[in-house]
C-alpha cells in the first residue's frame, strides 16, 4: 500500500484527539450490530456510596462481603502479583484440584470462569442458540435475562409466587420442547428466599432429562433453613443437574472474579470449551485456593453475617414489615410503588440500597453500623408511610 491509497490518506487525517478539534466524539457508523443487542436490558451495577457531610456512606447495593480480605489470602495474591507478566494457568489446575477434593467430585466435573456470571455465560453458550428457551423465575438475578438475550435465546420469566418464592409448578409448566436450560436461584437474588428440598425434587421429576437444570447457589454459605436442598447430592443423582457457585460473596473475592460449576463430565467439558481462554486470572486462582484453605476463618465471618441478618430481619418484623424468609446476606423489602421513595430515604442517611422498579428494594447485610442505620431508616419510613 502506498501513501496515495485512500485508506492511508484517511488514516493520517484522523485527529489524535477528536475533542481538541471539535470533531464528533461518537460519529455514526454503518456497522451492523446484532438485533439481540438492542433487546438487551443494561446491567444496573450497584451505585457508588454517597452520604451527607460527616456521615459514613455504605454501599449496600451489591451484596459484597463487608470484611476485608483474610491476611492469608492477601499474602497469596501479593506473591502471585509478582508474576503478572505471565499468562495464568489456562487449565486452572490448582483451584480445580482443590475444589474437587473439598467437594468430593472428580476434577473433570468442575468448570471455572471469571465469576459465576462468567460460568453462566458459558452455560448459556453451551446449551442455547437462537430460538431456544431458558426458563427462570422473575424477579431473580439481573444477569439472567442479559446473558440469555445476548446468546439469541429467549428468556422465559416465570413470576414468583406468594412470599417472593420460586413458583416451581409454574416453572415446570413453562417448559416446552424449545427449553434447553432452567435456572433455579436458591437463595433467590434479590428476594432472599430458598426452594425446599422436597419441592425441588418433585420439580426435577417433571423436567425432561435432556434439559439442563442449573442450581445457582451464590449464597449457599448463608443458608440456615433445615429443609434446603443439598444441590451437590442432587447433582450426583441426576445427570441433568449442575451446581453454580462463586467466590464473590461468602469468600469476599468479588473484585477478583472467580466462580465455578459442578456438572456431569460432558457438560463440564462443554463449559471449558465455551470459556474465554485465560478467563480466570492468576490472582483469582491463588486467592480462591487460599480462601478454601481458610474455610474455618471464613465460617466465623459467615456466622456473624448470618447473625446480623437474623437481627435485622427480627427488628424489621417488629416494626411491622412483612419480610419473607431470608436466607442470603441481604434483606428484601417488598415495596411496590414505594420502592423509589424508600431508596431515596436510605440514600439520605448514607445508605445506597438497590431498588428494583416497582417491585422492591434489596439491602446487603454489612457493617453493624450500616445495619443499625438500615433498621432505623426502615422504621421511620414505615411510620411515615402509614401516615
230: its cell numbers: 443439598
123 vs 377 by CB, closer to ligand PLP? 123
Using Cβ positions, the residue closest to ligand PLP within the complex turns out to be 115
Cα–chain center distance at 228: 20
Q: Which residue has the cell 445506597?
A: 352
C-alpha 84/C-alpha 277 separation (Å) is: 16
In whole angstroms, the minimum distance from the beta carbon of 14 to ligand PLP comes to 37
126 vs 185 by CB, closer to ligand PLP? 185
241 vs 375 by CB, closer to ligand PLP? 241
CB 186, CB 228: distance < 8 Å:
yes
92 vs 117 by CB, closer to ligand PLP? 117
Cα–chain center distance at 22: 41
In whole angstroms, the minimum distance from the beta carbon of 17 to ligand PLP comes to 36
154 vs 246 by CB, closer to ligand PLP? 246
- Residue 126, Cβ neighbours under 10 Å: how many? 23
253 vs 377 by CB, closer to ligand PLP? 253
In whole angstroms, the minimum distance from the beta carbon of 221 to ligand PLP comes to 12
Residues in touch with ligand PLP (CB under 6 A)? 63, 115-117, 141, 185, 189, 216, 218, 246, 248-249, 254, 259
266, 271, 277, 278: CA torsion to nearest 10: -100
Q: Which residue has the cell 465469576?
A: 115
276 vs 383 by CB, closer to ligand PLP? 276
In whole angstroms, the minimum distance from the beta carbon of 285 to ligand PLP comes to 14
In whole angstroms, the minimum distance from the beta carbon of 98 to ligand PLP comes to 17
30-53 as b/e, with b when 16 or more CB fall inside 10 Å?
eeeeeeeeeeeeeeeebeebebee
Q: Which residue has the cell 425446599?
A: 196
In whole angstroms, the minimum distance from the beta carbon of 64 to ligand PLP comes to 9
* 351 SS3 class: strand
In whole angstroms, the minimum distance from the beta carbon of 305 to ligand PLP comes to 15
Find residue 157's DSSP bridge partners: 136
C-alpha 22/C-alpha 18 separation (Å) is: 6
Amino acid at each position: 500500500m502506498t501513501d496515495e491509497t485512500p485508506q492511508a490518506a484517511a488514516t493520517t487525517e484522523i485527529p489524535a484527539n477528536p475533542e481538541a478539534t471539535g470533531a464528533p466524539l461518537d460519529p455514526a457508523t454503518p456497522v451492523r450490530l446484532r438485533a439481540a443487542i438492542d433487546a438487551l436490558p443494561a446491567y444496573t451495577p450497584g451505585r457508588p456510596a454517597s452520604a451527607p457531610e460527616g456521615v459514613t456512606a455504605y454501599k449496600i447495593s451489591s451484596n459484597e462481603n463487608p470484611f476485608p480480605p483474610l491476611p492469608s489470602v492477601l499474602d497469596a495474591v501479593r506473591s502471585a502479583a509478582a508474576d503478572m507478566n505471565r499468562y495464568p494457568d489456562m487449565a486452572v489446575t490448582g483451584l480445580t484440584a482443590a475444589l474437587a477434593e473439598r467437594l468430593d467430585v472428580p476434577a473433570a466435573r468442575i468448570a471455572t470462569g471469571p465469576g459465576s456470571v462468567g460460568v453462566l455465560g458459558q452455560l448459556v453458550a453451551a446449551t442455547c442458540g437462537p430460538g431456544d428457551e431458558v426458563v427462570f423465575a422473575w424477579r431473580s438475578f439481573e444477569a439472567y435475562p442479559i446473558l440469555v438475550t445476548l446468546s439469541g435465546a429467549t428468556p422465559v420469566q416465570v413470576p414468583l409466587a406468594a412470599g417472593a418464592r420460586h413458583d416451581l409448578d409454574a416453572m415446570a409448566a413453562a417448559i416446552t420442547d424449545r427449553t434447553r436450560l432452567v435456572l433455579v436461584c436458591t437463595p433467590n437474588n434479590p428476594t432472599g428466599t430458598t426452594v425446599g428440598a422436597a419441592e425441588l425434587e418433585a420439580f426435577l421429576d417433571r423436567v425432561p432429562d435432556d434439559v439442563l437444570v442449573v442450581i445457582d447457589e451464590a449464597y449457599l454459605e448463608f443458608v440456615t433453613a433445615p429443609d434446603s436442598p443439598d444441590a451437590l447430592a442432587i447433582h450426583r443423582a441426576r445427570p441433568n443437574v449442575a451446581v453454580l457457585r462463586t467466590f464473590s460473596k461468602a469468600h469476599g473475592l468479588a473484585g477478583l472474579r472467580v466462580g465455578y460449576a459442578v456438572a456431569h463430565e460432558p457438560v463440564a467439558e462443554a463449559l471449558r470449551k465455551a470459556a474465554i481462554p485465560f478467563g480466570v486470572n492468576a490472582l483469582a486462582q491463588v486467592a480462591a485456593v487460599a480462601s478454601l484453605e481458610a474455610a474455618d476463618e471464613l465460617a466465623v465471618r459467615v456466622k456473624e453475617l448470618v447473625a446480623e441478618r437474623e437481627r435485622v430481619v427480627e427488628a424489621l418484623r417488629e416494626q411491622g414489615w412483612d419480610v419473607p424468609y431470608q436466607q442470603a446476606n441481604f434483606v428484601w423489602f417488598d415495596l411496590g410503588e414505594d420502592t423509589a421513595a424508600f431508596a431515596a430515604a436510605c440514600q439520605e442517611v448514607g445508605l445506597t440500597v438497590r431498588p428494583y422498579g416497582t417491585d422492591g428494594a434489596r439491602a446487603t447485610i454489612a457493617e453493624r453500623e450500616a445495619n443499625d442505620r438500615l433498621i432505623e431508616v426502615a422504621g421511620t419510613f414505615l411510620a411515615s408511610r402509614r401516615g
